[in-house]
Structure 1
Amino acid sequence: MTTPVSRGRHNRKKKRTVRRRLPMRYLLPSLLLVALLAMLMLRGYVHSEILADHRVQAPAPTTQVPDHVLEGGPVIDARRAGEAARTLRIPDHRIVLTFDDGPDPVWTPRVLDELKKYDAHGVFFVTGTMASRYPDLVRRMVDEGHEIGLHTFNHPDLSFQSTSRIDWELSQNQLVLAGAADIRTSLFRPPYSSFSDAMDNKTWPVTQYIGSRGYLTVVNNTDSEDWKRPGVEAIIERATPEHGKGAIILMHDSGGDRSQTVAALGKFLPQMQDRGYDFTNLTSALGAPSAHTPVTGFALWKGKAFIGAVGISENVTGVLVAGLAVIGVLVMVRFGLMLLLSFLHARKVRRKDFSWGEPFSRPVSVLVPAYNERECIEATVRSLVASDYPIEVIVIDDGSTDGTADLVEAMWIPNVRVVRQRNAGKPAALNNGIANARYDIVVMMDGDTVFEPSTVRELVQPFADPRVGAVAGNAKVGNRDSLIGAWQHIEYVMGFNLDRRMYDLLGCMPTIPGAVGAFRRDALDRIGGMSEDTLAEDTDVTMALHRDGWRVVYAENARAWTEAPESVQQLWSQRYRWSYGTMQAIWKHRRAVIERGPSGRFGRVGLPFVSLFMVVAPLLAPLIDVFLLYGLVFGPTGKTVAAWFGVLLVQAVCAAYAFRLDRERMTHLISLPLQQILYRQLMYVVLLQSWITALTGGRLRWQKLRRTGVVEAPGGTPNRRKGTDRDRRPVA
């Protein structure tokens, strides 16, 4: 026998197990979000958008610079501790071509092609930001016999930087070279450097420190000034050494349009070779060992890992940028369609001559599937009893364990029946209700929903048109006082009801809401009733009706007040089921795309719209916020914020129009910006988890939400029950 104590221990153990397992549902989506943010951070890092410093030092006095340096050659060797720095010159008739700021995906390959054509070699001083993004070009430089030098990682003026920042610039640049070409180098050129005689009291200490780290500092003694784009002939003239002297010539293979540099090389190389010049590497010209040292072991794999991560980041962010463009177009198209078609829909239904036909007045059956709806069921039934339309009410108790059916029976209301069944799920309960219904029009609602007196009358009027098989009502959030409730209120009015006006005019309404919908019984019989194939039986049956040739329309004045989830956990459970069920329904009816007749029309119009605007677009929508964060951190901040607020403004216009059509107070729209930042991310993670569940073949069960019974129709009588105490007097 199980004692109360043992049962309590078992329950506590079960609760602890639930608490352990609960975070797992967030784990994979959270990891994907973290990975996305990490890749964006890495992209900002290698695009010089983190730690970028564009300051350039003004000329300073030269009193601390040795005269032999100011008057010496363009190569400065300050590597020997305790010894004076020495300078080196390039021998006569030798030219060391140097190229700064690359590699560039457009111009570097063309420069390499010209050098290869004339069997010439040079030195490429690469930045880490560019080399990490284009490692194949660095590998090609090495394979074709050129030397590589460091030009820092982010290209800052080192005279402004601390020694730790200088070390970081050097080590990160070497890390990239290790990953790209399996080497490290001993050559270094400071950004913004010039001739030796340009050394001053700010730059000379940097040169000394660089030397102490084991590097040769390489400046130049011949500046082609190709960065000014003065013309091909001018570049050649400025690059040509005088009187057969050797030279280190400064050129650029990145940083802008280098077409003049490439064209100049095509003429300069053969001209100077004809004069007896040899284009060689720096160490070859000096008769020194190669500047390259092979990298092995952990340092090599560390570099490979970094280059691999940058490659993934570049590819993924490229896809994200494309996705952002797609979502931008989708958002604008959707909002444009919503505004235009909703306006046309409103004009259509409010025309004086608009009519569904002869007034519909036949009695209807209202089905209320209920599973453990003790908190809400009395208010639901009372709202139906107050209807101004002839109805019968059938409450289908789906195996409730909280006395839901007993409460309804104790109300003693004529035309209200209770049908009991073992717990079999909502679709089975609805099919049971249809079997017990007396009338040929059935209205379906949830057990936590209340109707206004006119709701049923407004909902069934379209059945005067014999082509109409189902009617969607206007579901509204009743508990909108909390922040989550207010966000869902905006979503219901704008995202659901404005959409329904659009879909109504397009003839492809995707969903009859479970909270308020009506069906022609013959139409349900023809499609086999409510299906249990998906977790979104309302979407499933609506699509089936379209495929069978029935019209599905929207009755905006058929208002129902439903209790929305009041916690993030409950909201997650509900939307997870909705998202997954919608994807199931789309997959189930996918063959409609290739069919003929009404099914084909829905398949080629309705399914793409539903897939695009209910599955794909919401999954991409958070990219707007991700790139807002990226722009705030990395820039351009002004343009990013302006673009985000532009999208928000369009959404606000649509929301305001939707609230106007539904005659709702605009005050709830105050929380719209916060909804877009927080609520959209939650819906994204829910949809992402639904995709993961679908792609991995997982199964999702129906999840019952906890209800409070606080919702009532405007002007209705509040539910007087508190907790578990009830007023059980019969209702006349």
Structure 2
Amino acid sequence: MQALLPVSMAEPSRQPPRRGRRGRRVVPPPSWTLLGVLGAVLVGVLMVGAYANASFAPDRRQVQGGQHEVPDSVTTGGPIISITDGQHRSYRLPPRTIALTFDDGPDPVWTPEVRRVLDAHRVPATFFVVGSQVARHPELVRELAADGHEIGVHTFTHPDLTVLPGWRRRLEYDQTQLVIASAAGVRTSLIRFPYSSYAASIDDLDWPVFNHAGDLGYLNVLNDTDSRDWALPGVDQILANVTPSGYSGAITLWHDAGGDRAETVAALDRFIPLMKERGYRFVTVTEGLNLALAEAGVDHRVESGLAAGPDERWRGRMLIWAVQGADRTLGLLGWIFVAVGVLTVGRTVLLFVLAGRHARRRRAKDWAWGPPVTEPVSVIVPAYNEKEGIAAAVRSLAGGDHPGGIEVIVVDDGSTDGTAEIAEGLGLPNVRVVRKPNGGKPSALNTGVALARHELIVMVDGDTVFERDSVRRLVQPFADPQVGAVAGNVKVGNRDSLIAKWQHIEYVIGFNLDRRLYESLRCMSTVPGAIGAFRRQALTYAGGMTDDTLAEDTDITMAIGRAGWNVVYEETARAWTEAPTTLGQLWKQRYRWSYGTMQAMWKHRRSLTDGGASGRFTRRCLLFLSLFGVLLPLLAPVIDLLALYGLFFLDRTATAVAWLVMLGLQMLTAAVAFRLDREKLGVLWVLPLQQFAYRQLMYLVMIQSMVTALTGGRLGWQKLRRTGLTPTPSQPSASAPS
């Protein structure tokens, strides 16, 4: 399934370069520097998101170190540890004194609930916050500080600090300080390390981290009792865990984030009045430390929550914007991923149901368009510098087996390579060569139509080779008087290179399978320039070919559909064309197709409000073109982007499975399309490779086309180089695959 590629774009056509119209500028070629800068910015934003989501934060180590380097006075001391110039001191809260401390917040759901309980009981608490969460919810920290609660550092991404180098640890502390400064306007001297608990648990791996934080001016805060509320043990057990023995003072550890904290809130609501009844007072950690110092006769008072400077606040605000911007970007990408999935699945279902029904109906034994069409046919071949393929193309057309006869008109549009002489030199009796000054493909086609003797008109590109029965099969749908135009089946003739194989797959899936769908919905948007048939009456009613867009085939098809004619697909009428063999040539071709289609959509937009056949056709046509031809290819890069992001920063197994599911869906659609088109399945081995190069090129093509359209520019024509590799129907490689 080429759901992630531009679909239903106009088939290749040719016209010479021309200047931009007055009042419109020609858009310069794509700026790779600009694309590179935008890509780098996006990657940077995603890296910020990955960092804020702790993708670079190591989990808690499993190996426990010994306690040979940790002083006994620390492991047997209190939960507040001050380290200055290598000197360490431990402090405990005075008896009947409790400091409520909360880790891992702020959380938009549970922090307000905890705050509500604290306010109801009029007690303060100390919140050790995770910096990335502060960046996401600065208003919560601002409200805590305004209510008199104390703020402490709990690192920025909650890593195991024992495995981080010193510079990274300091970065964790400094970034958290910055976001606290921006959110609450204060600095804090308190720090609690992730995965820390009691003083007795400090080992030789932890001790350097404590010393480093002390050298930076922090007070290390541990706890006396641990609620273990993260394990959801029940309210009664939480109360038992946090209640200090006797009347000793305690720093109690709770959590206001990290999961469902309903038990925490309920236990807190019971714990506070219970401790007050026992004569306890509630303080912040700093208040408790100052009480302990006063009782010890120390003439010193610790200050925390000092006002932050304007520079810190500004830098913190920038960090908050970066994290929130990354979160919003990831959220937007997530929604786009869902949208792409819905569009992809929806398109797949429509293809399977409607295209499959179309194929079954056509293959029924009693299927027929009506009585055989034997009217003579005029074939128009616009040619501009087509010396490589014009002889093979004209021979294949002149030798067709249509019983009514075939008139071939080669309109040489000012070629300078001898194209007209080659066509004339074939000496075929039913071939006329007309020369005209260079005026563009629409002008050449209109000239050919004016000179044509017959009412049924077939239009062919000058590098396209028809099978012997293609003209006859192509005009059979005109047995139905409601049919105004017929799209044929375009095949890639030069399938030797990898790029050509990818295009062969795209033609079968993205073009031919879609035409079955669009015929069923009566909203065919493009009769390909390589092989298409028209009633002269329909062409005249639609105003003929115009040069308003670079996709004149899409333009005329939409005009015919709006006029009330049916546009159908005849799969048995095959034409072989030469596909670009280099990425540069492919870029030029697809850039022109996609931009031309956007031009045609814009040109016919006003008929959306028309009544009758015009409005019905336009609403269907533009809806499906917008969804599957423009929106899906524009959004599809998110699939690859999130796949890469997921492999590095999310669940790799889940990411790989999701990507393989999408590939499997594409393979299934491809198999169905190839079977309906009676193509060999062997070439599908290159489809997985298509996901890593070809698809990305199509993304860039669509993005550049959209930029060109939005800036109001006019894309100059870029003729592709032809090598004349298109096989003739008589060659085995060009025969219809079984």
Q: Provide TM-score, normalisation by structure 1.
A: 0.90
Aligned to 1:43: 49
Which residue of 351, 362, 379 maps to 1:338?
351
Which amino acid in structure 2 is aligned with residue 545 of structure 1? I
Question: Does 2:199 match 1:196?
Answer: yes
Matches within 5 A, 1:5-24: 24=30
Contact 1:365 1:442 in 2 (8 A): yes
CA distance in 1, matches of 2:727, 2:204: 80
Give deviations 1:337-358, integer Å, cap 9, x for gaps. 2122222111111111111111
Give deviations 1:652-672, integer Å, cap 9, x for gaps. 111122222222222221110
- Pair 1:659–1:142, CA change in 2 (3 A): same
Contact 1:121 1:280 in 2 (8 A): yes
Which residue of 317, 320, 323 maps to 1:304?
317
Q: Helix, strand or coil for the counterpart of 2:411?
A: strand
Instruction: Give the % identical residues.
Output: 54
Question: Does 2:643 match 1:636?
Answer: no
Aligned to 1:729: none
Q: Helix, strand or coil for the counterpart of 2:663?
A: helix
Deviation at 1:270, TM superposition (A): 4.4
CA distance in 1, matches of 2:203, 2:261: 30
Which residue of 598, 615, 634 maps to 2:630?
615
Aligned to 2:335: 322
- Pair 1:545–1:223, CA change in 2 (3 A): same
Aligned to 1:678: 693
Which residue of 34, 38, 49 maps to 1:32?
38
Which residue of 125, 130, 133 maps to 2:128?
125
Matches within 5 A, 1:507-522: 507-522=522-537
- Pair 1:75–1:195, CA change in 2 (3 A): same
Judge which range, 698-707 or 544-553, deviates more. 698-707
Q: Helix, strand or coil for the counterpart of 1:553?
A: strand
Contact 2:412 2:433 in 1 (8 A): yes
Judge which range, 297-306 or 242-251, deviates more. 297-306
Which residue of 55, 67, 72 maps to 1:67?
72
Structure 2 unaligned blocks of 5 or more: 1-26, 291-300
- Pair 1:423–1:179, CA change in 2 (3 A): farther
CA distance in 2, matches of 1:411, 1:717: 23
Aligned to 2:613: 598
- Pair 1:467–1:44, CA change in 2 (3 A): same
Question: Does 2:197 match 1:223?
Answer: no
CA distance in 2, matches of 1:25, 1:567: 20
Which amino acid in structure 2 is aligned with residue 343 of structure 1? G
Which amino acid in structure 2 is aligned with residue 284 of structure 1? E
Contact 1:284 1:290 in 2 (8 A): no
Which residue of 473, 480, 492 maps to 1:465?
480
Question: Does 2:497 match 1:492?
Answer: no
Aligned to 1:104: 107
CA distance in 1, matches of 2:169, 2:437: 75
CA distance in 2, matches of 1:717, 1:630: 46
CA distance in 1, matches of 2:260, 2:692: 40
Deviation at 1:244, TM superposition (A): 4.3
Aligned to 2:542: 527
CA distance in 1, matches of 2:731, 2:392: 9
Aligned to 1:647: 662
Which amino acid in structure 2 is aligned with residue 548 of structure 1? A
Aligned to 2:453: 438
- Pair 1:162–1:309, CA change in 2 (3 A): closer
Question: Does 2:253 match 1:250?
Answer: yes
Q: Helix, strand or coil for the counterpart of 2:432?
A: strand
Question: Does 2:591 match 1:576?
Answer: yes
RMSD between superposed Cα atoms in Å? 2.3
Question: Does 2:709 match 1:709?
Answer: no
Contact 1:573 1:703 in 2 (8 A): yes
Q: Helix, strand or coil for the counterpart of 1:417?
A: strand
Q: Helix, strand or coil for the counterpart of 1:677?
A: coil
Deviation at 1:27, TM superposition (A): 3.9
Question: Does 2:594 match 1:588?
Answer: no
- Pair 1:716–1:91, CA change in 2 (3 A): same
Judge which range, 516-525 or 69-78, deviates more. 69-78
Aligned to 1:153: 156
Judge which range, 28-37 or 354-363, deviates more. 28-37
Question: Does 2:81 match 1:76?
Answer: yes
- Pair 1:714–1:35, CA change in 2 (3 A): farther
Aligned to 1:113: 116
CA distance in 2, matches of 1:274, 1:540: 84
Question: Does 2:655 match 1:659?
Answer: no
Aligned residues: 696
CA distance in 1, matches of 2:708, 2:139: 38
Judge which range, 331-340 or 405-414, deviates more. 405-414
CA distance in 2, matches of 1:41, 1:506: 44
Which residue of 349, 374, 391 maps to 2:362?
349
Give deviations 1:405-451, integer Å, cap 9, x for gaps. 23222333222222222222212221121111111111111112111
- Pair 1:120–1:559, CA change in 2 (3 A): same
Deviation at 1:277, TM superposition (A): 4.1
Which residue of 423, 432, 440 maps to 2:438?
423
Q: Helix, strand or coil for the counterpart of 1:261?
A: helix
- Pair 1:274–1:700, CA change in 2 (3 A): farther
Aligned to 2:24: none
CA distance in 2, matches of 1:531, 1:379: 28
Q: Helix, strand or coil for the counterpart of 1:101?
A: strand
Deviation at 1:599, TM superposition (A): 1.9
Give deviations 1:12-65, integer Å, cap 9, x for gaps. xxxxxxxxx98744344444333333322221111111x232233455443433
- Pair 1:359–1:325, CA change in 2 (3 A): same
CA distance in 1, matches of 2:254, 2:60: 22
- Pair 1:633–1:190, CA change in 2 (3 A): same
Structure 1 unaligned blocks of 5 or more: 1-20, 720-732
Q: Helix, strand or coil for the counterpart of 1:517?
A: strand
Which amino acid in structure 1 is aligned with residue 702 of structure 2? L
Q: Helix, strand or coil for the counterpart of 2:151?
A: strand
Give deviations 1:130-187, integer Å, cap 9, x for gaps. 2333333333333333222222233233334443443343334334434544544321
Contact 1:57 1:160 in 2 (8 A): no
Question: Does 2:550 match 1:544?
Answer: no
CA distance in 2, matches of 1:430, 1:712: 25
Contact 1:29 1:689 in 2 (8 A): no
Q: Helix, strand or coil for the counterpart of 1:340?
A: helix
Deviation at 1:264, TM superposition (A): 2.6
Question: Does 2:305 match 1:292?
Answer: yes
CA distance in 2, matches of 1:233, 1:456: 86
Contact 2:178 2:316 in 1 (8 A): yes
Q: Provide TM-score, normalisation by structure 2.
A: 0.90
Question: Does 2:397 match 1:395?
Answer: no
Judge which range, 263-272 or 363-372, deviates more. 263-272
